[in-house]
Structure 1
Amino acid sequence: MIPFQIATNKKLFGQYDGFSFFVFIFYWKGCKQKDEIINHELIHFYQQLEMLFIFHWLLYLLFYGIARLKGKDHMTAYYTIPFEKEAYAFEKDMQYTMHRKFFAWLRFV
């Protein structure tokens, strides 16, 4: 299953080049590394799919919330989320989603 890709005229939430939600990948038309952004969001799509979408978002918010409670600022908390760690680690590997194992993000916890 491959999600629908939707190009936007503005950055998402004011600062992000891409965003994956359900079966959609949104990306900013002006991003310089379009392929990497889409691959990053595709990794998130597979994370969401394996967790039936809702559980992914609940855990995502939990990881983010815990980091914020520990005093981390927004961006530091964002980068500590295991889902983001996996996506950033492999966004340049365009073959990664073809051989990615289920729950691969767990090794980034």
Structure 2
Amino acid sequence: MILVSKYLVPKGYLGLTFFPFVFLKKKTLKQDAVFINHERIHLKQQLELLVIPFYFWYVLEFVFRLIQYKKWHLAYRNISFELEAYRQEKNLEYLKNRPFWAFLKYLRRHDF
């Protein structure tokens, strides 16, 4: 379910996915197929990890990346979940054929 709330989305971000919701900062983002695909990839990731473990893993990996890169944005962009979503967001057919736990192949990639 897609909801619009400029108050729930952190400053500096356009959207936030918190299963089963996708929160958008602006209503116009609902029409952005690439952006929505990115957020739907996160929904799939959350489902695969049974939701709560996803958030635990996400935060843990973010902290690791923050120590590694020492910059918030670089740490965020190099989280395996984000790497997968950014790499595949333009492929609007991706979720139809996405392998189970596909984010794992991005775990070792650090190229943003």
Aligned to 2:47: 49
Aligned to 1:78: 76
* CA RMSD of superposed structures (Å): 1.9
Could you tell me how far 1:89 is from its partner in structure 2? 0.4
Kept in 1, the 8 Å contact 2:35–2:89? The answer is yes
Normalising by the residue count of structure 2, what TM-score does the alignment of the two structures yield? 0.85
Give, as a single letter, the amino acid of the residue that structure 1 aligns with 2:20.
V
Could you tell me how far 1:84 is from its partner in structure 2? 0.1
Aligned to 1:93: 91
Q: Which shows bigger deviation, 80-89 or 12-21?
A: 12-21
- 2:10 maps to which of 5, 10, 13: 13
**Tell me, what secondary structure is at the counterpart of 1:70?**
helix
Task: Mark the CA change 1:64 to 1:33 in structure 2 (over 3 Å): closer, same or farther.
Answer: farther
Aligned mates of 1:107, 1:21 — CA distance in 2: 23
Percent identity, aligned pairs only? 37
Aligned mates of 1:45, 1:11 — CA distance in 2: 17
Aligned to 2:34: 36
Aligned mates of 1:37, 1:11 — CA distance in 2: 17
Kept in 2, the 8 Å contact 1:12–1:18? The answer is yes
Could you tell me how far 1:7 is from its partner in structure 2? 2.2
| Structure 2 runs not aligned, ≥5 long | 108-112
Kept in 1, the 8 Å contact 2:30–2:36? The answer is no
